[in-house]
Amino acid sequence: MICRISAMSSSSGVCLLLLLLAILYFAEQVTCSRLVVEDEDIGVCQQLTSNGSYVPTNGIPDSDADNILVALNLEYLECEFFLYAVTGEGLDSVEPSLAGGGPSPIGPERANLDALTGDIIYQFALQEIGHLRAIKQTIPDMFPRVQLDLRKEVFSSSMEAALGTQLQEPFNPYNDSLSFLLASYLIPYVGLTGYVGAIPNLQSERSKRLVAGLLAVESGQDAVVRTLLYQRKDDEVPALSMKVSEVTNKLSELRNKLGGKGNVDEGLEVSSCLGAEGKVTGNSLAGDNNSVGYARTPAEIFRIVYGSGNESVPGGFYPQGCKGRFAESFLAPNH
């Protein structure tokens, strides 16, 4: 109706003015709506540490710190491995304050990952940055990043030890998504068993809350890796001429052997007597006969990550050994 009236020459200016006012009105409404959404987003982000979340606080007993620092060695390993795989950069570029001036990792590479795996591993990397920050805020004088060896040759040596044979072509964890997931299978699970083993020895409620929170996310990472691999459990790993499930079983057997504590590690397929309630051979999550997570001591962890089966003989991912009172108590003085 307005436009019909505005067709008259005397009203053309009024028509244009009305249209302009209408446009400005709707633009203002959209802007105001977006401001409300942005304000809501800001409000949510400002509440990230509420609702029972762990707020890092220093001042825990020395014995608690000693137990947590065992895991710090593995948190550095996971963080750098995941970061480099997705971004081609590590803590020195992303969050240098958390590296503490420690030596740069040896030989990490950017991995050839598909979109889904890359997305997940990047989330893992960011989660590990958070873990390092939480530990640092709880233990301000934590040691800097240890020397890590992430060369593909180290992973290949571990794979050869697990399979009990020398590979014609070295195993390269950075070659593709499946290879990277198999390499990732090696790492978070060791850390989570360490957290399970540490909790009964902690005195402070703050320490227990921190470690329980770290354990929750580490367990989630392990579950995601196992699930992705379980979906492909019957696929053959071309470089190894073996099914995915068979490779995971071999890797778990190696960790059991190195740790020296019997069966506290299980692959993706097991005898039915070891499956949940003794009724299944599928083993998406590892657990004891009550499906309760296994625990490891600091010494057992060092034996595994050194690849030597001896907590006093460094090697593997830690050519100079791990740091912290427990680790250093096992090492010879020249380390």
Q: What pLDDT score was predicted for residue 332?
A: 72
Evaluate whether residue 21 is within a structural domain.
no
Q: Please compute the mean of the pLDDT values over residues 131-152 and round it to a whole number.
A: 96
Q: Please compute the mean of the pLDDT values over residues 75-86 and round it to a whole number.
A: 99
Locate the DSSP E strands across the chain.
Answer: 236-237, 242-243
Local confidence band at 2 (pLDDT 50, 70, 90 cut-offs): very low
What gap in Å lies between CA 77 and CA 101, rounded to an integer?
Answer: 15
Q: What pLDDT score was predicted for residue 34?
A: 38
Q: What is the CA angle 187-241-319, rounded to 5?
A: 35
Angle, helices 177-185/115-138, rounded to nearest 10 degrees:
30
Evaluate whether residue 335 is within a structural domain.
no
Nearest to 125 by CA among 145, 95, 158: 95
CB atoms within 10 A of CB 178: 21
pLDDT digits (tens, 9 = 90+) for 30-53: 344 433 434 445 555 555 553 455
Q: Count of H helices and E strands in the chain?
A: 13, 2
Evaluate whether residue 38 is within a structural domain.
no
Evaluate whether residue 83 is within a structural domain.
yes
Q: Please compute the mean of the pLDDT values over residues 97-117 and round it to a whole number.
A: 98
Evaluate whether residue 23 is within a structural domain.
no
Per the structure, the count of domains in the chain is 1
Enclosing domain of residue 110:
64-330
Greatest extent of the chain over all pairs of C-alpha atoms, in Å? 99
pLDDT digits (tens, 9 = 90+) for 255-266: 999 999 999 999
Chain centre distance of CA 33: 38
Any idea what DSSP says for residue 146?
P
Cβ-contact 251, 186 below 8 angstroms: yes
What gap in Å lies between CA 83 and CA 251, rounded to an integer?
Answer: 23
What percent of the chain clears pLDDT 90, i.e. is strictly above it? Answer: 79
Evaluate whether residue 258 is within a structural domain.
yes
Query: DSSP letter string over 161-213?
Result: HHHTS--SS---TTSSHHHHHHHHHTSHHHHHHHHHHHGGG---HHHHHHHHH
Q: Out of 5-19, 119-133, 286-300, which region has the weakest mean confidence (pLDDT)?
A: 5-19
Evaluate whether residue 173 is within a structural domain.
yes
Q: Please compute the mean of the pLDDT values over residues 108-112 and round it to a whole number.
A: 99
Q: What pLDDT score was predicted for residue 59?
A: 76
Cβ-contact 169, 152 below 8 angstroms: no
Evaluate whether residue 292 is within a structural domain.
yes
Q: Is the pLDDT of residue 182 over 80?
A: yes
